[in-house]
Structure formats: C-alpha cells, structure tokens
C-alpha cells in the first residue's frame, strides 16, 4: 500500500501533508535529478553517483570529484568553463598575470630599500 500512496509524490511522500504542495514538488524535482546517474567527465560513462553533499564518485574509473550539493556541475562552474575556453578571454589572463608580476617586483624593491 505504501507504494500506491507515494506514486504521485515519490520521495517527497515522507512529508505527508506538511509544508505545502509547491515546496514538496520542488523537493521531488531536485531529488529525482540528484539521485540519477550523471555523466563522468573522465570516462564519459553514466556512472557518476553522489556520495555525500558536493562529492561524486564514478563507479567505472573510481574518479572522485567535487561539485554542487545536488548536481555535479553548478551553473557558476559552467560559466567559468565557457569563459576559459573562449579565445578572447586568454589575453586578459595574460594581462592580469603581468600586472601581478609587476606588483610583486614593486613590493620586492620596496622591501629591499
């Protein structure tokens, strides 16, 4: 009988009639996506599983990665990967590194005097 009662609400059935329908549906959506197997960035197989919040392990290649609390890749991580892969972004990194080196040289000269 328990399966029949939670067919519609799934894992959010543990809350019963508490907390409201919207919140229970959001929890259900997140938990469904969180518990599924994800694609491993190393071997490209769908064997990446969530071990604890923010840690994922691939069953086939034993790779352990850090990710988001519910998903292995966060929106911020995706944006940063895209920025790094763009060709226009690379010259800006070089400029930043040159500025850092100049600041270190200035600090080194100031400490010597």
Together in a domain, 54 and 25: no
At residue 1, the pLDDT reads 46
Q: Rounded to whole angstroms, what are the CA distances from 17 to 8, 12, 13, 76?
A: 13, 10, 8, 35
For residue 62, give the DSSP letter: -
Give all strands (DSSP E) within 1-113, no chain letters. Answer: 48-52, 55-58, 64-66
Q: What phi, psi does 64 have (nearest 5°)?
A: -115, 125
Together in a domain, 83 and 101: yes
At residue 2, the pLDDT reads 52
The predicted model scores a pTM of: 0.61
Together in a domain, 66 and 42: yes
At residue 113, the pLDDT reads 65
* pLDDT tens for each residue of 49-75: 999 999 999 999 999 999 999 999 888
- Evaluated on CA atoms 9, 10, 12, 14, the torsion sign reads positive
* pLDDT tens for each residue of 1-24: 455 566 778 888 888 889 999 999
At residue 97, the pLDDT reads 82
Together in a domain, 1 and 29: yes
Together in a domain, 21 and 6: yes
Name the domain count of the chain.
3
Find the domain containing 31 and state its range: 1-35
């Amino acid at each position: 009988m328990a399966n029949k009662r939670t067919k519609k609400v799934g894992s959010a059935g543990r809350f019963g009639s508490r907390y409201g329908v919207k919140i229970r549906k959001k929890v259900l959506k997140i938990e469904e996506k969180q518990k599924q197997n994800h694609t491993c960035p190393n071997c490209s197989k769908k064997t990446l599983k969530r071990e604890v919040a923010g840690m994922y392990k691939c069953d086939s290649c034993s790779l352990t990665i850090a990710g988001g609390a519910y998903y292995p890749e966060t929106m911020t991580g995706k944006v940063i990967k895209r920025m790094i892969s763009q060709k226009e972004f690379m010259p800006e990194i070089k400029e930043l590194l040159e500025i850092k080196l100049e600041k270190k040289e200035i600090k080194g000269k100031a400490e010597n005097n």
